[in-house]
């Protein structure tokens, strides 16, 4: 599958070609640095390196008006305003799950291409995707028409599936956050789900969401008693993942509405994130209501 807009296709091609280099570049960059990202999380060397690599390459594309990253405090203006000019804004989580580097577990890269200035609602996305650095490097890419999966090697994309949809019969679930910190209504919902589905939770959202897309089910990082807004960032994680899952026939929710309908106020806004089969999300919203 190719993306119809040449600028958007150039963005996707640049990210996919960079994936092999990013994966190889993780070697020797597993240590933490004496810095925090704008959300107050400890960075590892690979976070900063991957952000600089993707930022330099994406900002150089003619038609990219803004670049934003989970690792940067502000939006980088690199062209015309996407809100008025027809250019695009790219929001990236360069290394989702980088805390998994220490234990050498799965992680990924998440990106969204918006046709509006950041911060933007998820319904302004025209394309979103993620790269999973697992045993095989793969990319899941969603457009307005379909969701496709690729294997990435040597800078090339090989199509695995061109019309990826969630299986009708859900199998797996994964919920983030410390259980004692879950609100009571979410705890009650989780008790129901754990009696029906198999637990699959690896500490990197990308890996857990990919399990849901492969086998059907639900992933959630709820609002917590200590942090009602949740942990995940709307622009860099919630919106792109919500877009992908909805295009694959599932649903996304912040607990009461589609993630794509959430009005952002700041670039690094957090949000509860729940994605998966529609009936499981509907049950969740009923429980939280």
Note the pLDDT tens digit of each residue in 259-276.
999 999 999 999 999 999
Distance of CA 250 to the CA centre of its chain: 15
Q: Which residues pair with 92 in a beta bridge?
A: 69, 111
Write out the residue limits of the CATH 3.30.540.10 domain(s) in the chain. Answer: 6-161
What is the structure's pLDDT at 1? 47
What is the structure's pLDDT at 103? 85
96 assigned binding-site residue: yes
98 assigned binding-site residue: yes
282 assigned binding-site residue: no
226 assigned binding-site residue: no
Kindly give, in sequence order, each residue whose CB lies less than 8 Å from that of residue 271, ignoring residues fewer than 6 positions away. 229, 230, 232, 233, 234, 238, 254, 259, 262
What is the structure's pLDDT at 21? 93
Tell me the CA distances in angstroms from 175 to 199, 209, 219, one per residue in order. 9, 11, 6
What is the structure's pLDDT at 46? 87
Write out the residue limits of the CATH 3.40.190.80 domain(s) in the chain. Answer: 172-288
Contact 100, 204 (CB under 8 A): yes
Residue 205 parent element (H or E): helix 205-215
Contact 131, 109 (CB under 8 A): yes
Tell me the CA distances in angstroms from 282 to 29, 68, 190, 288, one per residue in order. 41, 32, 14, 10
Q: What pTM does this model have?
A: 0.95
CATH number of 172-288: 3.40.190.80
What is the structure's pLDDT at 2? 53
What is the structure's pLDDT at 203? 86
Contact 4, 29 (CB under 8 A): no
Domain 6-161 CATH (choose: 3.10.20.340, 3.40.50.2300, 1.10.580.10, 3.30.540.10): 3.30.540.10
What is the structure's pLDDT at 34? 67
Tens of each residue's pLDDT in the chain, 289 residues: 457 799 999 999 999 999 999 999 888 887 777 676 776 677 888 889 999 999 999 999 999 999 999 999 999 999 889 999 889 999 999 999 888 888 888 999 999 999 999 999 999 999 999 999 999 999 999 999 999 999 999 889 999 999 999 999 999 999 999 999 999 999 999 999 999 999 999 989 999 999 999 999 999 999 999 999 999 999 999 999 999 999 999 999 999 999 999 999 999 999 999 999 999 999 999 999 9
What is the structure's pLDDT at 32? 79
């Amino acid at each position: 599958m190719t993306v119809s807009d040449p600028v958007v296709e150039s963005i996707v091609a640049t990210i996919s070609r960079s994936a092999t280099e990013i994966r190889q570049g993780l070697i020797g960059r597993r240590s933490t640095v004496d810095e925090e990202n704008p959300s107050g999380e400890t960075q590892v060397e690979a976070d900063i390196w991957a952000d600089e690599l993707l930022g330099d390459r994406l900002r150089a594309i003619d038609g990219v008006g803004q670049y934003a990253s989970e690792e940067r405090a502000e939006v980088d203006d690199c062209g015309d305003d996407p809100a008025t000019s027809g250019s695009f804004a790219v929001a990236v989580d360069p290394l989702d799950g980088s805390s998994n580097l220490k234990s050498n577990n799965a992680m990924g890269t998440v990106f969204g291409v918006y046709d509006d200035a950041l911060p933007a609602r998820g319904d302004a996305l025209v394309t979103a995707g993620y790269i999973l650095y697992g045993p095989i490097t793969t990319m899941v890419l969603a457009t307005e028409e379909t969701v496709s999966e690729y294997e990435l090697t040597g800078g090339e994309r090989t199509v695995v599936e061109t019309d990826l949809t969630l299986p009708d019969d859900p199998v797996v679930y994964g919920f983030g956050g410390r259980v004692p910190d879950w609100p009571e209504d979410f705890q009650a919902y989780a008790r129901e789900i754990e009696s029906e589905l198999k637990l699959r939770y690896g500490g990197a959202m990308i890996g857990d969401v990919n399990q849901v897309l492969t086998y059907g089910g639900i992933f959630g990082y709820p609002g917590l008693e200590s942090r009602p807004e949740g942990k995940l960032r709307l622009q860099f994680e919630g919106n792109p993942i919500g877009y992908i899952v909805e295009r694959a026939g599932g649903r996304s929710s912040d607990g009461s509405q589609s993630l794509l309908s959430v009005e952002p106020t700041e670039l690094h806004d957090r949000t509860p994130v729940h994605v998966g089969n529609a009936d499981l999300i509907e049950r969740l919203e009923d429980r939280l209501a």
